[in-house]
Amino acid sequence: MLSEPPEGYFSARRLDILVGMKVTLSFLRHLCRCLGVLLQLLRYAVSFCWALLLPRAVMAAQLLAIQSQLAAELDRSSGRRKRHRGFSPAFRILWVVLSKPLDRWEELVHIMKPETVKRWHTRAFRAWWRWKSKTGRKPVAPEIQQLIRRLSKENPLWGAARIRDVLLLMGYEAPGEDTVRKYMVKPRRPRPETTTWLPFLRNHLDCSWAMDFFTVTTLRFQVLYVFLVLDHARREVLHFAVTPNPTMEWVIQQLREAMPFGEQPRYLFRDNDGIYGHGVHGFLACCGILEVRTAYQSGVNPSDWTVQGVAISTL
């Protein structure tokens, strides 16, 4: 028969196991720390080697981005700038400029969010546009405003184009059609909205296209016009082009390139943009295409869903 273990044997054995586990955990903890230090050093080495391959301009921009954040944080921690006041205007303008040439500038942001920098760019563009709009069109004289109201009230069947032509014949400096439409007398009982537009669009999806413009703002606040030709049936962009100065001749050339080898729709939807002029109507008539124009200020555009998606992808 086996003899019984001496008294206190299990307590000593349990103590030895606990001490061994404690030593093992301490060793594993130190090992994890060493591995973390080695991984950090490897990361620094890879960053250094990558920096050697970058151009000097990119390295200077990244160094400026880091130094600006360090200086801003030192100013806020030393009390020279209160926290609720945020960043200085110079700091914001600097990051608006740096966010464009740097490819992965979001990785350099540490004391603010990338959405904050994008919001600064939007505010800068609004301020620049507000300053540019100060020297815009001349205000319409009160005499011309009253004359437009009188002509539209006495001739309810006249449109903005007809009233503008009458003002030119009378010797006045007539404003644009949109401005004339702004001062025209609105009918007291407007015609009720009809539901014939969407059924027409659904019934002719297979043989209808649409063309439209949208704008993109560059770093230097230059407005670029993007022209699109869309296929309603497949919701596909058939042709697109970009230009800073769109003209009627340029639009006609883009329509020629969008319809090679006789591929053309039966209906082409478009708005009443002044860029198209009378030449686009004549070109479509020669091609045997029936154009469908949207009503003024109707808010209905058959290409809206695709234009919004392309604009978001482009930005």
Q: Which helix (H) or strand (E) holds 228?
A: strand 223-231
- 310 burial type by CB count under 10 A (0-12 exposed, 13-18 middle, 19+ buried): middle
CA distance 252 to 281: 10
- Cβ–Cβ under 8 Å, residues 260 and 287: no
Span 117-142, average pLDDT: 81
- Identify the structural domains of the chain with CATH numbers, from first to last: 56-134 (no CATH), 142-183 (no CATH), 197-314 (3.30.420.10)
- 174 burial type by CB count under 10 A (0-12 exposed, 13-18 middle, 19+ buried): buried
Supply the pLDDT for residue 163. Answer: 92
- What's the chain's length in residues? 315
Q: What is the pLDDT of residues 38-87, one digit of tens each?
A: 887 777 677 667 666 667 777 788 888 888 888 888 887 776 655 556 78
Q: Which helix (H) or strand (E) holds 292?
A: strand 290-293
- CA nearest neighbour of 99 among 87, 112, 83: 112
Output the average pLDDT for the chain: 79
Phi, psi of 278 (to 5 degrees): -95, -15
Q: For the chain, what percent of residues have pLDDT higher than 70?
A: 80
Q: What is the pLDDT of residues 294-315, one digit of tens each?
A: 876 655 555 554 444 444 444 4
Span 130-137, average pLDDT: 71
pTM: 0.42
Any idea of the CA torsion for 171, 173, 174, 176, to the nearest 10 degrees? 150
Q: For the chain, what percent of residues have pLDDT higher than 90?
A: 12
Handedness of CA 197, 202, 206, 211 (dihedral sign): positive
Q: Residue 35 is which amino acid?
A: L
Tokens representing residue 151 in the block: 């002509």
Q: What is the pLDDT of residues 208-267, one digit of tens each?
A: 888 999 888 888 888 899 999 988 888 888 899 999 999 999 999 999 999 887 788 899
Supply the pLDDT for residue 137. Answer: 67
